[in-house]
């Protein structure tokens, strides 16, 4: 699939013979990435710095409390960065959780990162993870306070869930603590997610969004993949709740070299994957990027 995508069109106006070009001047919104971990990608920074056809809006997730005070200077005028802060279930503090949660609340309440000057647009990523060395009771303790911070600040909550059995537990927990109109992003929905729970999530939370990324291109179970694609194709409201993300520098799309992986190439590949799955008239990759951008803007208000 990647061989039919014109990556040149991400940064230049191009009329080559490849099947898919991303329409010029459409911005790219990466609704979930980790800028602290990939901004050393000089090829991406240089390409974006010199382009006249593209702007990128990235929501950089500061999910490790050790990095809350870390700031990477952004010298690229075409890259607009917004931040979210949270405690990931795999990175819970060993001894000072209460103090860190107070620190988190103070950071989020300011609405602007005092170090970077960037707007703070969300709380998270937070949730449950079966690969965490922390027990579920400890993960719940960290999650509950962060849900309350999101509720008090009216900022979107960004959910992380790894482990099929945890999806129902996470949804029940969040829905018991937040009103149904609270904005929530369920990050990294893919073929091994509990789609029944995701259906419940979309139905219950009217301002909910789900994020798709390069993980959709990696087929680990053929039957799961078929079910997932059918679910997307037949969901009557999927485009009203869809945003695109990369989780960069992780979850590189299958078949793409890590050197070429960045918010532009990652979003482009995922948008084409969605186009191929939907097979809907008028819903090409560029249109899907525009729809996803609008949905992200409504939730994160940037």
- Confirm or deny that 80 is annotated as ligand binding: no
Q: Residue 3 to residues 157, 158, 255, 266: CA-CA distances in angstroms?
A: 36, 33, 10, 14
2 labeled binding residue: no
Q: Is 144 annotated as a binding residue?
A: no
Angle between helices 222-234 and 195-204 (to 10 degrees): 20
- What does each C-alpha distance from 76 to 55, 209, 297 come to in angstroms? 10, 28, 21
Query: Concatenated DSSP letters for 31-43?
Result: EEE-HHHHTT-HH
The verdict on whether residue 160 carries a ligand-binding annotation is yes
Phi, psi of 210 (to 5 degrees): -120, 145
The reply to whether 247 sits in an annotated binding site is yes
- Other CB atoms within 10 A of residue 48 CB: 22
- Residues paired with 29 in a beta bridge: 57
- How far is Cα 293 from Cα 57, in angstroms, rounded to an integer? 9
Cα–Cα dist 289/26, whole Å: 8
Q: Which helix (H) or strand (E) holds 175?
A: helix 166-177
Distance between CA atoms of residues 63 and 86, nearest Å: 5
Sign of the C-alpha dihedral computed for residues 143, 84, 59 and 237 taken in this order: positive
- What's the rounded Cα separation, in Å, for the pair 168 and 99? 29
Distances (CA, A) of 92 to 63, 96, 151, 168: 10, 9, 21, 22
19 labelled ligand-binding: no
CA pair distance 24, 230, nearest whole angstrom? 31
Binding residues for a divalent metal cation: 32, 34, 125, 160, 187, 247
Binding residues: 32, 34, 125, 160, 187, 247
């Amino acid at each position: 699939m990647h061989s039919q995508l014109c990556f040149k069109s991400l940064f230049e106006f191009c009329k080559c013979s490849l099947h898919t070009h991303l329409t010029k001047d459409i911005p790219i919104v990466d609704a979930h990435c980790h800028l602290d971990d990939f901004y050393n990608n000089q090829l991406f920074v240089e390409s974006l710095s010199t382009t006249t056809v593209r702007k990128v809006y990235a929501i950089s997730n500061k999910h490790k409390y050790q990095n809350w005070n870390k700031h990477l200077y952004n010298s690229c005028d075409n890259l607009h960065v917004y931040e979210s802060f949270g405690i990931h279930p795999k990175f819970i503090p060993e001894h000072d959780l209460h103090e860190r949660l107070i620190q988190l609340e103070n950071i989020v309440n300011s609405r602007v990162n005092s170090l970077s000057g960037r707007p703070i647009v969300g709380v998270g990523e937070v949730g449950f993870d079966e690969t965490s060395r922390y027990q579920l009771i400890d993960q719940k303790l960290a999650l509950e306070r962060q849900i309350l911070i999101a509720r008090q600040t009216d900022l979107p909550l960004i959910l992380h869930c790894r482990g099929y059995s945890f999806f129902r537990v996470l949804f029940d927990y969040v829905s018991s603590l937040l009103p149904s109109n609270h904005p929530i992003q369920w990050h990294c929905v893919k073929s091994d997610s509990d789609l029944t729970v995701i259906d419940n999530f979309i139905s219950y939370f009217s301002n909910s969004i789900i994020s798709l990324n390069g993980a959709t291109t990696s087929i680990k179970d053929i039957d799961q993949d078929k079910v997932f694609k059918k679910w997307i194709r037949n969901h009557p409201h999927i485009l009203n709740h869809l945003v695109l993300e990369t989780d960069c520098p992780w979850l590189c799309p299958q078949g793409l070299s890590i050197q070429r992986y960045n918010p532009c190439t990652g979003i482009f590949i995922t948008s084409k994957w969605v186009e191929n799955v939907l097979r809907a008239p008028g819903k090409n990759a560029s249109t899907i990027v525009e729809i996803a951008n609008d949905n992200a803007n409504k939730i994160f208000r940037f």
